[in-house]
Structure 1
Amino acid sequence: MPFPERILLATDGSTSATLAGRRVAQLAASTGAEVHVLHVALVSTWTTPAPLGPAQRERILAEAHTVLAAAVLELEEAGVDVASGTVRTGRATEQILLRRGELEADLVVIGHRGQNALTRALLGNDAEQVVRHAPCAVLVVRDEEGRR
């Protein structure tokens, strides 16, 4: 298997996602891969059954851009030239796979556990779903608590 040429980092601001970003920085430094970052703001009928008002939607998107900016900044501080940073809304798994396809990324990097335990219980672990459905390699990074 060749080294990745295009990496998609899916981040949610969690500890696992931060560690995943560090692994991406290491990979990019050693392979010269192009790096793209995605954050999905969770706006789903499962978690938000009532339609969002303009102010609520604006707040959610502002928070999402803050999470994305922090991940991009950490990569840039590690010497990575980030090719793109994207915020999407909806179900994380769907949006990660859609973005992966748009970029034709050959590696998706994602943290093992996200921020929202309720959503994980309702919809399943995003990392698990990405591993099951991605047509490319997926690196799942565990945080210290996830190690045994």
Structure 2
Amino acid sequence: MNNASLAIRKVLVPLDFSDPSLQAVQYARRFADPSGAELVLLYVIEPVAYPAELGVVINLDADLAERAMSELEKLRVQHLSDLSARCLVRNGVADAEIVATAKSESADLIVIGTHGFSGLKHFLLGSTAERVVRDAPCPVLTVRHHVTAEKG
């Protein structure tokens, strides 16, 4: 395998605006900066289903897509203005949309934050990052939030 086949031209960064996902942006930047790769920031709006008197109601907040795009753009301008970066908002189940976007965008790498849940919390909530790793069409770097100690 030659180095050309390992070239990173496009990095997909799914965000939920949590600390781990914001830290993932910094890791993605480290991959994109030296190679000139494009960063694609992705936010997925998952439909919320709740029981109603007659069946199930799917609640899609009409303003959420607009607010999410605004937050993504703000992040792009503040932290990635010197790089090639763009923002996407999709609707659907997070892991499926991340994998589908990686395929449609021909991403060479996905950098995704993980909350690092374990035990019962992991069992109940599952792991979007874990499902993305399992189904992704390209390598996935998972970034677990960590706090670095400051030297005093």
Superposition TM-score tier, normalisation by shorter sequence: 0.7 to 0.9
Following superposition, the deviation at residue 57 of structure 1 comes to 2.0
RMSD between aligned residues: 2.4
User: Aligned match of 2:84 in 75, 81, 86?
Assistant: 81
- Distance, in Å, in 1 between the alignment partners of 2:122 and 2:49 is 14
CA contact (8 A) 2:24 2:113 kept: yes
User: Aligned to 1:58, which of 58, 62, 67?
Assistant: 62
User: 1:18: which partner in 2?
Assistant: 22
Deviations 1:76-108 (A, max 9, x none): 24x2221x3110111110110111111111101
Distance 1:113 1:66, change over 3 A: farther
Q: % of aligned pairs identical?
A: 29
What amino acid maps onto 1:28 in structure 2? A
What's the secondary structure of 1:58's corresponding residue? coil
Unmatched segments (≥5 aa) in structure 1:
none
1:42 to 37, 42, 46: 46
Separation of aligned partners in 1, 2:75 and 2:127: 21
Give ranges in structure 2 of 5+ residues lacking alignment: 51-55, 148-152
Structure scoring higher RCO (CA < 8 A, sep ≥ 6) equals 1
TM-score where L is the length of structure 1 = 0.78
Contact kept, 8 Å, 1:120 with 1:126, in 2: the verdict is no
The Cα of 1:120 is off from its aligned counterpart by: 6.6
Distance 1:44 1:123 in 2: 15
Post-superposition CA distance 1:36-79 (Å, at most 9, x none)? 11101121448xx5232xxx6223223322432243234424x2
- Which whole-Å CA distance do the structure 2 matches of 1:95 and 1:120 have between them? 21
Structure 1 contact 7–108 (Cα < 8 Å) conserved? yes
Cα deviation code 1:122-142 (max 9, x no counterpart): 552110000011121001011
Aligned twin of 2:13: 9
Q: Who wins on radius of gyration, i.e. which is larger?
A: 2
Match for residue 98 of structure 1 among 97, 100, 109: 100
How many corresponding residue pairs? 134
Contact 1:44 1:91 in 2 (8 A): no
C-alpha contact (below 8 Å) 1:41/1:61 kept by paired residues: yes
